[in-house]
Amino acid sequence: MPHDTPLIATIVAGLGLAFVFGALANRFRIPPLVGYLVAGVLVGPNTPGFVADAGLANELAEIGVILLMFGVGLHFSLKDLLSVRAIAVPGAIVQIGFATALGAGLAWMLGWSMGAGLVFGLALSVASTVVLLRALQERRLIETGRGRIAVGWLIVEDLAMVMALVLLPALAGVLGGQEQTDAHASGLLSLPASYGIWGVVGITLAKVAAFVAVMLVVGRRVIPWILHYVAHTGSRELFRLAVLAIALGVAFGAAKLFGVSLALGAFFAGMIMSESELSHRAAEESLPLRDAFSVLFFVSVGMLFDPFSLISNGWPILATLAIIVIGKSLAAFVIVIAFGYPLATALMISASLAQIGEFSFILAELGVGLKLLPEQGRDLILAGAILSIVLNPLMFLAIDWMKPWLEARAARTAPPVEAKPVGPATEPGQVASVVATANGEDGPPPRTSLTNHAILIGYGRVGSLVGASLKEATLPFLVIEDADKTLARLKADGIETVSGNAANAEVFAAANPEGAKRLILAIPNAFEAGQIVMRARAANPGINVIARAHSDAEVEHLKGLGADTVIMGEREIARGIVEEVLGQKPSATEPSAA
């Protein structure tokens, strides 16, 4: 090689092998993230052959965390965040407390110090942002009530960890470790121990509050202004660059100036951008990098893992894993149920939090650096992380199995709980009514009684116009939608709905495709639409299928799978323009672009 290029080598080896093993995993019907982790183990220092730069891989993974949280922020408003605080704050705190106690108990059994137990327990108590968000995204849960609780919960955990990271160095002396006087690796995060515990807590909280205030007061004005200014230059490239620069800049600034985590900074940047519809869409477009970087997160975790530690540390690893997967989930489950939420919500929150990741590694490193945590502790945390990440998709499968059984039990032992309506933020006392919904969040959606009806999928820019016309013509129809806000609007309009992802077999079946006359696909994703078309054809060969597409290739794809009519959006736009210019309808129905 002409010169040394560790960054390029790390990206190429990481992404290349992740692709190969991800594809292999997929072939064997294992979640691809297992493949990414294996790729990481292979390029890591614990296996022979090429060794990628772990430090670089880690930083690249951090970019993935920033972009993921930025993307989540784009789907959140301040109101959404506040609407889940009544469950997320106590939930996360109680769960952290419980997991920390379990971790400390295991540490005690292993003969470690109290300080070691505290660090170990805390490390087991926080979930990984990347694992959680990807799990929610894959299942299209982010914009549901349950998804919002999970994200709110994650943010509280994130804040708690920021607190732990600043407090540990200050407390190290008291806890039996080595007191640290200089700032540790994460820069300005740590504060001198001389401030005392309460001083450190106070300063940290003040910094977080200052960051939030700066974002809400200054960021809210400056960011939209910059975006509008750039939009007027007419350069798409500059616009995307502005979005990316703001996301990364705010995250980095938040971490360096205010001691807030990168993830939290990025989340706020996204939340502020989401307030304007224009920047929202543009920002979404500029996120394709997100997936690539979040894959590198799994590779970097794999790199840290030493497969041989599994042999030398047998039962402590199993105990660690049990705390993460069973202990934490049970705690979350009990809390969510105690707050009056439906079973499905409790199960989903438990499953999504039953893993650990990046924060745990940072805590473990810090603990070892402060001489609080023995090296064995770090090994256990790493093994626990990798195993819990691998098991996480199985947790989601497990809740699907357990749901019917638990529901049957609940029905036997308690009177049926009335489903609660979806609603915006309410008073703190009224937690239970915030997120529980009457439209299928607590079990498979109920089957419609409609027959000879039309099934309309998606109620966005396209579907809502179609729906309005169907309603006016008094044709029987129902809508399948997965966005909570849209569902609430549908309900207000008195339109029958099935809530959930239409590509999901259970959800689709609830719309009675066998008895339906027509299927109208008003969703933008042609792959999802294709899947639904196939399912509809299988259920009802005679159903009339009308689909939406945005390119000729999509038209072909959907027709090939059995759609009767496919309307290409861009063609219709051209038709409208021609009509406006020439004052007449274009003569043929065939493509005006041909």
Q: Is 62 in the site for ligand AMP (CB under 6 A)?
A: no
CB closer to ligand AMP, 117 vs 463: 463
| Binding range to ligand AMP, per CB under 6 A, among 30-38, 209-217, 235-243, 459-467 | 459-467
CB closer to ligand AMP, 421 vs 460: 460
Hey, what are 496's tokens?
A: 């029958």
| Nearest-angstrom CA–CA distance, 315 and 227 | 55
**β-strand partners of 568:** 549
Q: Is 456 in the site for ligand AMP (CB under 6 A)?
A: no
- For residue 538, count CB atoms less than 10 angstroms from its CB and return exposed for 0-12, middle for 13-18, buried for 19 or more: exposed
Q: How many residues bind ligand AMP (CB under 6 A)?
A: 20
Distances (CA, A) of 425 to 83, 84, 271, 429, 435: 4, 8, 17, 11, 9
C-alpha distance across the termini of the chain, in Å: 50
Distances (CA, A) of 365 to 224, 388, 583: 39, 19, 70
Q: Is 441 in the site for ligand AMP (CB under 6 A)?
A: no
- The Cα angle at residue 374 between residues 370 and 380, in degrees rounded to 5: 120
Q: Is 147 in the site for ligand AMP (CB under 6 A)?
A: no
| Nearest-angstrom CA–CA distance, 457 and 521 | 5
| Binding range to ligand AMP, per CB under 6 A, among 42-50, 83-91, 456-464, 558-566 | 456-464
CB closer to ligand AMP, 389 vs 457: 457
Hey, what are 102's tokens?
A: 């379990």
| Binding range to ligand AMP, per CB under 6 A, among 46-54, 219-227, 303-311, 521-529 | 521-529
Residue listed under structure tokens 């968000």: 133
CB closer to ligand AMP, 317 vs 521: 521
| Binding range to ligand AMP, per CB under 6 A, among 250-258, 327-335, 407-415, 454-462 | 454-462
Mask: binding to ligand AMP, 551-580, rule CB under 6 A, as x and -?
Answer: ------------------------------
Site for ligand AMP (CB under 6 A): which residue of 161, 230, 295, 502?
502
Site for ligand AMP (CB under 6 A): which residue of 361, 501, 513, 519?
501
CB closer to ligand AMP, 113 vs 525: 525
Residues 395 and 329 sit within 8 Å (Cβ to Cβ)? yes
Site for ligand AMP (CB under 6 A): which residue of 461, 505, 514, 577?
461
| Nearest-angstrom CA–CA distance, 127 and 389 | 10
CB closer to ligand AMP, 351 vs 480: 480
Helix axis angle, 289-304 to 358-369, nearest 10°: 40
DSSP element (H, E) containing 545: strand 544-549
Site for ligand AMP (CB under 6 A): which residue of 523, 543, 547, 566?
523
Mask: binding to ligand AMP, 467-486, rule CB under 6 A, as x and -?
Answer: -------------xxxx--x
Q: Is 53 in the site for ligand AMP (CB under 6 A)?
A: no
In the complex, least distance from residue 237 CB atom to ligand AMP, rounded to whole angstroms: 24
Q: Is 510 in the site for ligand AMP (CB under 6 A)?
A: no
| Binding range to ligand AMP, per CB under 6 A, among 237-245, 287-295, 402-410, 524-532 | 524-532
Compute CA 379 distance to the chain's CA centroid, rounded to the nearest angstrom.
27
Q: Is 345 in the site for ligand AMP (CB under 6 A)?
A: no
Q: Is 524 in the site for ligand AMP (CB under 6 A)?
A: yes
Residue 269's nearest CA partner among 71, 101, 513 is 71
Classify 565 as helix, strand or coil.
Answer: strand
- For residue 85, count CB atoms less than 10 angstroms from its CB and return exposed for 0-12, middle for 13-18, buried for 19 or more: middle
Residues 369 and 184 sit within 8 Å (Cβ to Cβ)? yes
In the complex, least distance from residue 548 CB atom to ligand AMP, rounded to whole angstroms: 8
Nearest residue to ligand AMP by CB is 460
Give the number of residues written for the chain.
Answer: 594
CB closer to ligand AMP, 420 vs 535: 535
Q: Is 528 in the site for ligand AMP (CB under 6 A)?
A: yes
In the complex, least distance from residue 29 CB atom to ligand AMP, rounded to whole angstroms: 22
| Binding range to ligand AMP, per CB under 6 A, among 168-176, 349-357, 439-447, 451-459 | 451-459
| Nearest-angstrom CA–CA distance, 162 and 208 | 9
- For residue 310, count CB atoms less than 10 angstroms from its CB and return exposed for 0-12, middle for 13-18, buried for 19 or more: middle
CB closer to ligand AMP, 409 vs 461: 461
| Binding range to ligand AMP, per CB under 6 A, among 180-188, 386-394, 501-509, 554-562 | 501-509
Q: Is 157 in the site for ligand AMP (CB under 6 A)?
A: no
CB closer to ligand AMP, 260 vs 456: 456
DSSP state of 546: E
**β-strand partners of 66:** none
| Nearest-angstrom CA–CA distance, 198 and 395 | 39
Hey, what are 292's tokens?
A: 């690539």
**β-strand partners of 480:** 457, 498
Q: Is 307 in the site for ligand AMP (CB under 6 A)?
A: no
Site for ligand AMP (CB under 6 A): which residue of 155, 254, 503, 511?
503
Binding site for ligand AMP (CB under 6 A): 457-463, 480-483, 486, 501-503, 522-525, 528
